[in-house]
Amino acid sequence: MSDRIFGVFGVLLAIGFAIAALQIEESFLSDAVGPKAFPLIIAAILGLSSAVIALKPDAAPHWPSLARLAELAAAAVVMLLYARLLPELGFVFATALAAAYLSWRLGNAVLMAIATGIGTSVGIYVIFHLVLGLSLARGPFGF
């Protein structure tokens, strides 16, 4: 029963995501694909996979323990905080903090998680901003 509820919720979420994607206004300078393509692809994948889950549920689903659900909720809160703090902290700092926390919760030692967060943040910044020239959120230090 829980798989069916999860599947139906996913289908409804995909529909909402597709409706939101269709609201994106296209500039006359956009490329041939346009800004709607990627969100619509994600909505289609989410909708199809959720429909499969709803139509073919697991006979005996295994739910994680309460402690594991709390860790999943904490990870979701970190991602919400990441989105909220991105404009204030900038891409480099916000990404470093979020990646370090998530790396730590995935089992890395604290110092290794910090190194992973910094490496991930700086690596993505170099590739997307410096190499590809994409605009990323600027923090208090201009990067």
pLDDT of residue 25: 82
pTM equals: 0.66
Q: Which amino acid is at 79?
A: M
3-state secondary structure of 105: helix
Give residue limits of the domains in the chain: 2-55, 66-131
In the predicted model, is pLDDT for residue 96 greater than 70? yes
Report how far residue 3's alpha carbon sits from residue 109's, in angstroms, rounded to the nearest whole number. Answer: 34
Cβ neighbours of 118 (radius 10 Å): 17
pLDDT of residue 137: 85
pLDDT of residue 71: 93
Q: Nearest to residue 35, comparing CAs of 45, 27, 46, 43?
A: 27
* Residue 131, token pair as written in the block: 């190499």
* Residue 96, token pair as written in the block: 């470093």
Q: For residue range 21-68, list pLDDT tens digits in order.
A: 999 887 766 666 677 888 999 999 999 999 999 999 888 878 889 999
Report how far residue 87's alpha carbon sits from residue 27's, in angstroms, rounded to the nearest whole number. Answer: 23
